[in-house]
Each structure stands twice: as structure tokens, then as C-alpha cells.
Structure 1
Amino acid sequence: MRRSRLRLAASVLSAALAAAVLSGCTATALQSQYENGDNKGYISGTGVTEIKPADRKEPVTFSGKTEDGATFSSADHAGDVVVVNFWYAQCPPCRLEAKQLQKLATQYQGKGVDFVGVNTRDDVASAESFDSTFGVTYPSILDADGGKVQLAFSGTYRPNSTPTTVVLDRKGRVAARIEGPINDQPSTVSTLIDSALAEQP
């Protein structure tokens, strides 16, 4: 009886170890695909996180060169709500949401809301081609070399997937994070932007 129990325990342990190994292989393969830029390996999340003003962390400060060689600095947009979208050209959900993001950028133009992309992988030519294809007119920081902007957002509400859209309040603090493409929930994004706009600077 005791031997049977020991054999059963051993079997359960072996199965658990096998599952862990398989899980590790899957994660490693996905990570490798993501790092190599393979389309099939893009990582996209789904979910909206809204942070109450009292619970927000320190302001996020960042800057970087855009596709046209200009510099985008968060300091130049103090007092405005800033919508930051993390993307790259061959990311399928990034392509899916691009026109909706542009539509929102046009909708809020001149209303104290600034849009900026953070391109995590591409060179100038790829980023400009994407903008031309999808009619994107707001700037994107090219962050593939060094990832300084991604590092600036590496706190509690960092972009864990691609695409991720972050709404910064008038003080530059993370007010909301949307993981995954926004095209399925544009009204949610508008509501988050409106909420941040309504707050006292």
C-alpha cells in the first residue's frame, strides 16, 4: 500500500515537472519570437487599468528623436493630457488600431490633448512607411536604440504588451493604461481622456 502511494506521488511529481519544462519552453520560444520581430510572436494583452488621482505615482518624464528628426519632450507638454502609444510596424494589432488612434488624435486636436507614439523596434523608413499607410500624423519617438522611453515607463504601470496605450494626466502621471489594440474600445479610451481632462491641473 505504501509503495503504491509512493509510486503515485512520483508520477504526479514527474507530470508536474514535465508541465513546468514545457511551459518554460513555450515562454522561451515566444520571447525569442518577440525579440526577433516575427509577426507570429507579437505579444498583445487586453485590459484597461485606471488609476485614481490619489494613487498615482510620480510624473513620467521622457524625450527622444521622432521620425522627422525633431525632439519630443514631455516637459514641453506640461499641463496637457498626453496619450502615449507603444507600437512597431509589423505588429498586427498595432496596424489594426492605427486609424482609430489617428481618429482620436484628430478629435482632440487643440483641446489640450497631445498624442505621441513610441516605436519600439523600427528605423526611420519603416516608421514613416507605417505613418503613410495608415494616415498617422502625430509624431513617434524612435526608441529601438537604447529603449530610453520604455525605461521611463518601467514602473508599476509599464507597457507589458504591444500595443499599449498610456494616458498621462496634466501632471504627467499615469492615469490609465490600455493593453492591446484600442479599436475594440475607442469609447473607453475617450472616456479615460475626458476624465483626465476634467481634472484640475
Structure 2
Amino acid sequence: MKRIYFFVGVLSTIIICLALVINPRDISASEKVRLNLEKLDQSIQDQIENHTLLSLSSNPYDYIAENEYYDAIIELGVAALCELENSLVSSDENGLVQYIISIAIEDISHTNVNEILGNEDFGWEDAHEFTTEWLEIKDTVTENVETIIQSELLNDEEKIEKINHYGLLAVLAIESYVNTAEGRQSSFLKAGLKHVVESYNLDEKEIELVYELF
């Protein structure tokens, strides 16, 4: 009988271990984004209901300063981008949370939409405007980066600065340029653009996730 209890105990331990392996507590990046967005939204609602000083602010950046839920989304890095973008594209809402999602996309992707579009006097005003501009930039980034590279009106430093505004969206176009064997390429430009990509500290999985954005 003791032997039976022993084997039952061992079997139970094995089942528990397998359950932990097969059903790990870690959830997907998309689920983490959704959960933290819900908590972020709730934290904002709490501020408003409690009439705090923060609730009087009309500046979206005030709401993400030292906000643990926003920080958790940013910490996910590239893995969060698809879900953040989908949240904007699939939503009819155009409020504070959507504006914050737009900020998060720029933060994670290292993209400066206003600089790309030359919005010197004013930038995108709401999430709907950001979404339209973001999708347009994605659709034209390869062509635009190639145009910048081939420009005879810009020196290499200016080209690097302009391409840098595209952030992760330019990685594919940059790698295509850097890896090409064309002899007339500027070694300074190639080195500068290579440094831009390296500054993002992307691993192979993250580079794949960048490609999946397109």
C-alpha cells in the first residue's frame, strides 16, 4: 500500500510539473498589452473620479509619467507594436487612451512621425490622425528611405538624421542598403546607418517582429 501511495505521489508531482511546462504562467505579449491598457484606462478613470490634480491636466504625457502600466507596455518592446497598432486600427474611439497608445508606438519604434512629415509648427492632434499618418509612413518607408539615400541635395550626415526619424520602420530598407555589394556606396553612410540599426539592440526574434509589421 505504501508503494502505491509513493507512486501516486510521484505521478502527481510529474503531472503538476508537466502542467507548469505546458501551461506556463507567462502570457503572450499581446495579452500583456491588452491587460496593461485596461489597467491604464482604469487608473485614468480613478484619477478623474477622485478629482486629483492629474485629472485637471489636458496633457497626455502627464498621465504616462511614472505610470507603471504604461512602463510595462514599453518594457515589452517590439513585441508590443502589433497589438498596439491593432488597437488603434480596430477602434472607433479617439480619446486619451488612444492618444497614449500612439505615444507608446512612437516610443517603442523610435519613430518621429512629425519629423518625417515635416510638421514643424504642429504635430498630429489625435489618435485618428496619428494612425492615418503612421500607416502611410509604413506603406512608403522603403521608397522614402531609398529616395533619401540617393538624394544629391543631402550630405551623408543629413541622410542619416532623416532616416533615423523612421526608427524601426527603416530597418529593412537600411539592411538592404548596407548588405548590397554596389561599389559606389558611401562607406560613411553605410557605417552610420549600420550604427542606427545597432543602437536599437534588436535580437533576431525582434528583427522578425519588425518585419511582421509590414
- Tell me if both proteins adopt one fold, taking TM over 0.5 as the criterion: no
State which structure, 1 or 2, has the greater radius of gyration over its C-alpha atoms. Answer: 2
TM-score for the superposition, normalised by structure 2: 0.30
The structure with more helix, counted as a fraction of residues: 2
TM-score for the superposition, normalised by structure 1: 0.32
The structure with more strand, counted as a fraction of residues: 1
Q: Which of 1 and 2 has higher RCO (CA within 8 Å, sep 6+)?
A: 1
